[in-house]
């Protein structure tokens, strides 16, 4: 397939929605870019550190940002023609503030994004099972383990190992905060007139190859490449997750 209407895509998501799985699948195709959180931190200094740049080299903030975005695009393309970006909603406002420095004047968010990356496909990856999402978030924060490889080895650990402990208040907090992040995406889509490609976490986790083929097809890339891609990550949900769900739901019924 030679016609590529999109030069980039942005996976609009929130924590514990399956974005690490989706990004890994796209990378494995060797055609779908190198999607990651290329602008994760809400700090220009951290962006500079991430790309090995020094602010003192540049005469202005605008020049500095141009260098950062150039590095990000190169990293996000990998050896492909497509730029892939994972955007957590918590990082989005700072990201857009920097784009307004690069592209001032009266224009929409979409116009600024496409000035930076070209024609962009917006993918909304969400997890309707808010309780499951919140339990996953609480366990990751408590244990320090955020992702496992498909073979069970650790892929991402952010803190030393700690025992998980049931915390209903933390689960309720994350159910509310994660819902707010998805609602913020929905408001932005409506304001910008975006009709995103919608991906449900449950569908992605059950049939990752089908979802991957759908994304590739939307970008006019060969969807058959999805069949050769192996799932790169393992689900962390287990018997303890189910136990916490049952306990939380029981407590909620008793207090209703």
Element (H, E) at 58: none
Q: What pLDDT does residue 5 have?
A: 84
- pLDDT tens by residue, 196-217: 999 999 999 999 999 999 999 9
Cβ atoms of residues 102 and 28 within 8 Å: no
Instruction: Name the residue with tokens 């309707």.
Output: 128
Q: What is the pTM of this model?
A: 0.94
DSSP letter at 41 equals S
Question: In 78-207, where does DSSP find H-type helix?
Answer: 89-102, 109-117, 130-143, 168-192, 201-206
pLDDT tens string 63-73: 999 999 999 99
pLDDT at 1: 42
Q: Tell me: the pLDDT tens digits for 132-145?
A: 999 999 999 999 99
Mean pLDDT of the chain: 96
Q: What number does CATH give the domain 8-255?
A: 3.40.50.300
Task: List pLDDT tens digits, range 158-184.
Answer: 999 999 999 999 999 999 999 999 999
Q: Is the pLDDT of residue 155 over 80?
A: yes
How is the chain split into domains, by residue range?
Answer: 8-255
């Amino acid at each position: 397939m030679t016609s590529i209407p999109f030069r980039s895509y942005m996976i609009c998501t929130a924590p514990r929605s399956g974005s690490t799985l989706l990004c890994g699948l796209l990378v494995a195709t060797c055609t779908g870019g190198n999607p990651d959180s290329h602008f994760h931190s809400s700090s220009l200094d951290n962006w500079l550190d991430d790309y090995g740049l020094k602010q003192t080299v540049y005469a202005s903030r605008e020049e500095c940002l141009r260098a950062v975005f150039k590095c990000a695009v190169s990293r996000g393309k990998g050896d492909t023609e497509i730029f892939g970006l994972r955007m957590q909603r918590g990082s989005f406002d700072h990201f857009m503030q920097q784009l307004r420095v690069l592209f001032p004047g009266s224009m929409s968010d979409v116009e600024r994004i496409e000035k930076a990356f070209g024609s962009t496909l917006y993918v909304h990856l969400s997890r309707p099972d808010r309780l499951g999402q919140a339990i996953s978030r609480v366990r990751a924060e408590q244990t320090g383990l955020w992702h496992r490889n498909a073979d069970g080895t650790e892929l991402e650990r952010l803190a030393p190992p700690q025992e998980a402990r049931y915390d209903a208040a933390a689960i309720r907090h994350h159910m509310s905060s994660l819902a707010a992040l998805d609602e913020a995406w929905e408001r932005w889509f409506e304001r910008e007139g975006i009709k995103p490609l919608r991906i449900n976490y449950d569908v992605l986790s059950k049939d990752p190859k089908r979802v991957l083929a759908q994304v590739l097809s939307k970008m006019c890339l060969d969807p058959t490449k999805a069949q050769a891609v192996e799932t790169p990550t393992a689900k962390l949900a287990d018997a303890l997750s189910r136990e916490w769900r049952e306990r939380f739901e029981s407590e909620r019924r008793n207090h209703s």
